[in-house]
């Protein structure tokens, strides 16, 4: 059976003090929530918070993710943070290829091949983001775009390594806009992804693949989106910055 995940991507928000307070609040509120075996909660604070946040959360209930990592192991790469460094801080996962990184920092499939390799090598879970822009959807190219993003960056992986990936489908037009994809649009894309993964890696890998939806998920729409058969949870931006709304979204899974 595949895992269900609710992950909070804090992006570049909060200073350490406020981030630790938020993590502590989420941790406390989560104590009251009965989580099913198959449900995992992840938070992805900024790099600078990871050490401190890891000290205030119960790491059996809340897993830690980073929002990015370097393409290389170590060396003269000023300003970069390696996957090994993140692993040593207790990270379990790394978000890769977020549309903001693709759009503002020029991340390409070539970069993502290397980053994915780093994350897998350091025994963490890559949360691989994909998703089309509004113009691409309007032109009817959304399936083609998403298929290319996934196949270019991930389809060189062995079956064993591909099985470690979590996919997050985040249509760019739904991120931070308050316009979420309809449950039908989310389901349609998730089923499409699962199907082409099946063609490449077979039934078992496709069935076990966790595919998250991201883009304006809020407490009032999470339940209907999560109820779709191929939606295995969410990658939450804005609504993960308030303990109450994040917890309500977790309860919706």
Where do contacts with ligand 13P occur on this chain (CB under 6 A)?
A: 9, 98, 170, 175-176, 214-217, 235-239
Rounded to the nearest 10 degrees, the angle between the axes of helix 142-154 and helix 183-201 is: 40
Q: How far is the CB of 174 from ligand 13P (least distance, A)?
A: 6
Q: Which is nearer to ligand 13P, 8 or 194 (CB)?
A: 8
- The β-bridge partners of 167 are 128, 211
Residue 228 backbone zone (phi > 0: left; psi -120 to 50: alpha; other: beta): beta
Q: Which is nearer to ligand 13P, 62 or 172 (CB)?
A: 172
Spell out the SS3 assignment of 185-226.
Answer: HHHHHHHHHHHHHHHHHCHHHHHHCEEEEECCCCCCCHHHHH
Q: Which is nearer to ligand 13P, 170 or 206 (CB)?
A: 170
Q: Is 173 helix (H, G, I), strand (E, B) or coil?
A: helix
d(CA 68, CA 113): 13
* Nearest alpha carbon to residue 168 among 91, 216, 234: 234
Within 10 angstroms of residue 199's Cβ, the number of other Cβ atoms is 8
Residue of closest CB approach to ligand 13P: 237
Q: How far is the CB of 208 from ligand 13P (least distance, A)?
A: 22
Q: How far is the CB of 35 from ligand 13P (least distance, A)?
A: 21
Q: How far is the CB of 252 from ligand 13P (least distance, A)?
A: 14
Q: Which is nearer to ligand 13P, 11 or 87 (CB)?
A: 11
Candidates 49, 107, 170, 190; catalytic one: 170
Q: Which is nearer to ligand 13P, 206 or 210 (CB)?
A: 210
d(CA 51, CA 241): 18
Residue 170 annotated in active site: yes
Q: How far is the CB of 207 from ligand 13P (least distance, A)?
A: 25
Q: Is 132 helix (H, G, I), strand (E, B) or coil?
A: coil
Residue 207 annotated in active site: no
d(CA 21, CA 6): 20
Candidates 49, 98, 142, 190; catalytic one: 98
Contact between residue 252 and residue 217 where contact means Cβ atoms under 8 Å apart: no
Catalytic residues: 98, 170
């Amino acid at each position: 059976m595949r895992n269900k995940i609710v992950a909070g991507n804090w992006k570049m928000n909060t200073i350490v003090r406020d981030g630790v307070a938020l993590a502590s609040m989420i941790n406390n509120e989560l104590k009251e929530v009965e989580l099913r075996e198959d449900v995992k909660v992840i938070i992805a604070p900024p790099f600078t918070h990871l050490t401190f946040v890891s000290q205030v959360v119960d790491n059996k209930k809340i897993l830690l993710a980073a929002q990015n990592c370097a393409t290389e192991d170590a060396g003269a790469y000023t300003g970069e943070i390696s996957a090994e460094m993140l692993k040593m801080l207790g990270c379990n996962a790394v978000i890769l290829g977020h549309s903001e990184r693709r759009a503002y920092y020029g991340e390409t499939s070539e970069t993502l091949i290397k980053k994915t390799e780093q994350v897998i090598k350091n025994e963490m879970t890559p949360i691989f983001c994909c998703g089309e822009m509004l113009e691409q959807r309007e032109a009817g190219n959304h399936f083609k775009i998403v298929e290319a993003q996934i196949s270019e960056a991930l389809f060189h992986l062995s079956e064993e390594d591909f099985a470690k990936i979590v996919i997050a489908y985040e249509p760019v037009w739904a991120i931070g806009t308050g316009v979420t994809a309809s449950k039908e649009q989310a389901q349609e894309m998730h089923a499409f992804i699962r199907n082409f993964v099946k063609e490449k890696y077979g039934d078992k890998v496709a069935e076990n693949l966790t595919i998250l939806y991201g883009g304006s998920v809020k407490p009032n729409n999470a339940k209907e989106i999560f109820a779709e058969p191929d939606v295995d949870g969410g990658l939450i931006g804005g609504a993960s910055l308030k303990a109450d709304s994040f917890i309500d979204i977790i309860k919706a899974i």
